Amino acid sequence: MHLLTGNDRPYVGDDLKYKPDVEVASYVADDGQCVTLVDTPGFDDSHEGVSDVDILERIADFLLSE
């Protein structure tokens, strides 16, 4: 994602560390079209106290705010 967007956001990790936030990165493709990438928390997370419903609510909140 960093190669496409040209910046160091969103966080990209190489582990299974829990990431609670929805993150957005945008870039302009070679044909001039704006592309938006949306990175969401994963389902079936092993993080204690976080259910799939919690994650779905975070994604829905993000989509409703855009």
Write the pLDDT tens digit of every residue in 10-41: 555 556 666 677 888 888 888 999 988 888 88
Residue type, position 21, single letter? D
Total tally of structural domains belonging to the chain: 1
According to DSSP, the residues that pair with 37 across neighbouring strands are 25
User: Domain limits at 12?
Assistant: 2-65
How far is Cα 34 from Cα 55, in angstroms, rounded to an integer? Answer: 27
Pick the more confident residue, 11 or 48.
48
pLDDT score at 27: 84
The model scores a pTM over 0.85: no
Does residue 39 contact residue 25 with C-beta atoms inside 8 Å? yes
Confidence check: pLDDT of 55 > 80: yes
pLDDT band (50, 70, 90) for residue 49? confident
